Amino acid sequence: MKKDFSLKLILLLGLVNAINGDSRTRVVCYYDTRSSSKTGLGKVMPVDIEPALSSCTHLVYGYAGLDATTFKIAPLRTNEELDKTNGLYKQITSLKTKYPNLKILLSVGGDADVDPENEKLFYEKYLALLESSTGKIAFTNSVILILQDYGFDGLDLAFQFPKMKPKKIRSSVGSVWHSFKKTIGVAGKPVDENSEQHKDQFTGLVVELKNSFRLEKYELSVTVLPNVNATLYLDVQSIKNYVDFITMAAFDVVTPIRNPKEADYPAPTLSVSDRNTEENVDAWAAFLVSGGLPSYRVVIGVPSYGRAWKIEADATVTGSPPVQADGPAPEGVQTRTAGLFSYTEMCDKILNTRNKDLKGEYAPLRKIADPTKRYGIYAFRLPDENGDYGMWVGYEDPESAGNKAAFVRGKGFGGIALFDLSLDDVKGACHGTKFPILERIKNKFN
Ligand X SMILES: *[C@@H]1O[C@H](CO)[C@@H](O)[C@H](O)[C@H]1NC(C)=O
Residues lying near ligand X in the complex (CB under 6 A) are found at 164, 182-183, 229, 231-232, 276, 278-279
Which of 276/355 has CB closer to ligand X? Answer: 276
Tell me how far apart the terminal alpha carbons of the chain are, to the nearest angstrom.
45
Which of 209/288 has CB closer to ligand X? Answer: 288
- Please return the burial class of 159, using the count of CB atoms within 10 Å of its CB with bins 0-12, 13-18 and 19+: buried
Which of 164/377 has CB closer to ligand X? Answer: 164
| 281 within 8 A of 248, measured Cβ to Cβ | yes
Nearest distance in Å: CB 179, ligand X = 9
Nearest distance in Å: CB 277, ligand X = 9
Which of 115/274 has CB closer to ligand X? Answer: 274
Please, what's the b/e burial string for 111-137 (b: 16 or more CB within 10 A of its CB; e: otherwise)? bbbeeeeeeebbbebbbebbeeeebbe
CA–CA gap between residue 365 and residue 378 (Å, rounded): 10
Nearest distance in Å: CB 351, ligand X = 35
Preceding peptide of 322 cis, ω within 30°: yes
Which of 162/328 has CB closer to ligand X? Answer: 162
Nearest distance in Å: CB 148, ligand X = 37
Nearest distance in Å: CB 420, ligand X = 24
Which of 223/422 has CB closer to ligand X? Answer: 223
Which of 232/249 has CB closer to ligand X? Answer: 232
**Residue among 152, 160, 223 nearest 415 (CA):** 223
**Residue among 344, 317, 338 nearest 326 (CA):** 338
SS3 247: strand
Nearest distance in Å: CB 405, ligand X = 24
Nearest distance in Å: CB 322, ligand X = 17
| 416 within 8 A of 27, measured Cβ to Cβ | yes
Nearest distance in Å: CB 187, ligand X = 17
Which of 51/166 has CB closer to ligand X? Answer: 166
Neighbour count for residue 183 (Cβ, 10 Å): 15
What pairs with residue 109 in β-bridges? 158
Which of 66/230 has CB closer to ligand X? Answer: 230
Nearest distance in Å: CB 191, ligand X = 9
CA–CA gap between residue 429 and residue 425 (Å, rounded): 7
Which of 47/186 has CB closer to ligand X? Answer: 186
Query: What angle is formed at CA 411 by the lines to CA 407 and CA 416, rounded to 5 degrees?
Result: 55
Residues across the chain: 446
CA–CA gap between residue 87 and residue 83 (Å, rounded): 4
CA distances from 103 to 35, 60, 76, 220 (A): 21, 8, 22, 11
Residue nearest to ligand X (CB): 182
Nearest distance in Å: CB 181, ligand X = 7
